[in-house]
Amino acid sequence: MEILNLIKERRSIRKYKPIPVTNEQLNQVLESARWAPSWANTQCVKFIVIKDPDMKEKLQNTLTPRNPSREAMIQAPIVIVACAETNKAGYKEGKPTTDKNEWFMFDTALALQNLTLTAHSLGLGTVHIGAFDAKMAGSLLEIPEGIVVVELIPLGHPDITPSPTPRKELKEIVFNEKYGKR
Ligand X SMILES: Cc1cc2nc3c(=O)[nH]c(=O)nc-3n(C[C@H](O)[C@H](O)[C@H](O)COP(=O)(O)O)c2cc1C
Name the one range near ligand X by CB under 6 A: 16-24, 32-40, 91-99, 123-131.
123-131
Query: 106: closest CA among 137, 150, 147?
Result: 150
Q: Is 67 in the site for ligand X (CB under 6 A)?
A: yes
Query: Is 130 a binder of ligand X (CB under 6 A)?
Result: yes
The torsion defined by the Cα of 10, 1, 36 and 79, in degrees rounded to 10, comes to 40
Is 80 an interacting residue with respect to ligand X (CB under 6 A)? Answer: no
- Binding-site member from 29, 127, 137, 155 for ligand X (CB under 6 A): 127
Kindly tell me which of 32 and 116 has the beta carbon lying closer to ligand X.
116
List b or e across 45-71, with b for residues whose CB sees 16 or more CB atoms inside 10 angstroms.
bbbbebeeeeebebbbebbeeebebbe
Residue nearest to ligand X (CB): 130
Which whole-number Å values give the CA distances from 147 to 88, 99, 111, 139, 164, in the listed order?
A: 10, 21, 16, 11, 35
- Binding of ligand X at residue 137 (CB under 6 A)? no
Choices 32-40, 93-101, 129-137, 168-176 (CB under 6 A): range interacting with ligand X: 129-137
Indicate whether 128 belongs to the interface with ligand X (CB under 6 A).
Answer: yes
Q: 166: which DSSP letter?
A: P
Q: What is the dihedral of CA 95, 98, 101, 104, to 10 degrees?
A: -100
Q: How far is the CB of 79 from ligand X (least distance, A)?
A: 13
Binding range to ligand X, per CB under 6 A, among 8-16, 18-26, 117-125, 168-176: 8-16
Residues that bind ligand X (CB under 6 A): 11-12, 14, 67-69, 127-131, 162, 165
